[in-house]
Structure 1
Amino acid sequence: MNILSHFWFEANIKLSNGKYLVDGKKINAFTNEEEAAVKLDEVVPFRLESKLIERGAKFEKSGLWQTHVTVDERVVTGQNPQSVHAVGEAVLEELKKTSIIKNTKETYFCAKLKFSLNNQDKSCIHSKSSTFHKMV
């Protein structure tokens, strides 16, 4: 399973066949409009949405700051920091399809995340029987 984030490498991962990972996949990420809204569109080396489309992604998006998660095969992407909880749920569902979490009653996911937009420094998701509780 691939868990991608807003980092630049998302658009640059190539498979052994030479194609980009995102080529032909439904993907979402920070949108051009969200980049402009936080005045980063002239700071970042490229707009991620545009680069993903250029690399062959079928880019999906919702409105500014709306939760949006896309799953295509084993690639899970979230649009923005507001999507982190839903991304965790989607990742758990994908992991349940593998041998990694078969027959597991309780699973813990903790990720230290730094979001420059809302100054959060950590987010922890606890899952028991597919019920998530966000603890900050």
Structure 2
Amino acid sequence: MKKILVVLTNTTRYRHTNEPTGLWLGEATEFVDVVHQAGYSVDYVSPKGGFVPIDPRSMKYVNEDIMEDYEISDFQDRALCKSLKPSDINSSEYIAIYYTGGHGVMWDFTNNVEIQNISRTIYNNNGFITSVCHGIAGLLNIRDGNGKYLINKKNVTGFTKAEEMIAGKLKLVPFFNQEIAEQHGAIFKKRRAYKEFVVQDGHIITGQNPFSAKAVAKMLISNLNN
């Protein structure tokens, strides 16, 4: 059975500030918990490899399940301390790629050509590209074999401007997901702020916010098991 590749950020702060950011913890643990229960294994990759910081704000929203997954030594070792580099990845081993969120990804996912190439290969091999929340940043600049944006004419979702406003981050983020997605031809869907919402368009599955990670995983597994 092929594996699922989970993409994590290395960014420790909002650029030009001392405010920390990083991985939104539950967006990794909740997704991985669902796919593990379905019998799929995962690997973890980040743009630089190695250490993955956790957004301290995400720790305010943990529950017992998230904490239990966070405390698993395999997750701490392979995801948070020793994530793989893109050059370590053999794309043919994966049936899907999943971009986690946390504001940090807006700086190191968007223009990472190596991970874009991995995603395109998985997609071209009939695999799935998935994301949640700010993780859509990893999809924004992927191009297909004809040089067109992969999300062009695709229905997608991600963390919204309204949600940025509620989070108090409007002046800290380098762009807004909806604006870039629509500039690249996507059809951006959204629902009420901070409510679970997932969109599927072919082999692209995206979730709006942190509360959508499990739903993304369940939709992916439903497709893989068909």
TM-score by length of 2: 0.41
Which consecutive residues of structure 1, in runs of 5 or more, have no partner in the other structure? 98-136
The structure with more strand, counted as a fraction of residues: 1
| Residue pair 1:28, 1:59 contacting (<8 A) in 2 also | yes
Indicate yes or no: 2:209 matched with 1:80: yes
Q: Which residue of 1 aligns with 2:130?
A: 3
Can you list the C-alpha shifts for 1:75-95, whole angstroms capped at 9, x where unaligned? 000000001111111010121
C-alpha distance in 2 between matches for 1:91 and 1:78: 11
The structure with more helix, counted as a fraction of residues: 2
C-alpha distance in 2 between matches for 1:73 and 1:20: 15
How do 1:34-53 residues align onto structure 2 when only pairs under 5 Å count?
34-53=163-182
| Residue pair 2:131, 2:216 contacting (<8 A) in 1 also | no
Taking only the aligned residue pairs, the percentage that are identical comes to 32
C-alpha distance in 2 between matches for 1:56 and 1:2: 17
Runs of 4+ in 1 over 4 A off after TM superposition: none
C-alpha distance in 1 between matches for 2:196 and 2:213: 8
| Residue pair 1:62, 1:68 contacting (<8 A) in 2 also | yes
SS of match in other structure, 2:205? strand
- How many residues of Structure 1 are paired with residues of Structure 2 in the alignment? 97
C-alpha distance in 2 between matches for 1:41 and 1:48: 12
C-alpha distance in 2 between matches for 1:50 and 1:10: 13
C-alpha distance in 2 between matches for 1:94 and 1:13: 22
Indicate yes or no: 2:184 matched with 1:55: yes
Q: Which residue of 2 aligns with 1:14?
A: 143
Q: Which residue of 2 aligns with 1:90?
A: 219
| Residue pair 2:156, 2:200 contacting (<8 A) in 1 also | yes
CA-atom RMSD in angstroms: 1.1
Indicate yes or no: 2:155 matched with 1:30: no
Name the aligned partner's letter for residue 18 of structure 1.
G
C-alpha distance in 1 between matches for 2:152 and 2:161: 19
C-alpha distance in 1 between matches for 2:186 and 2:170: 20
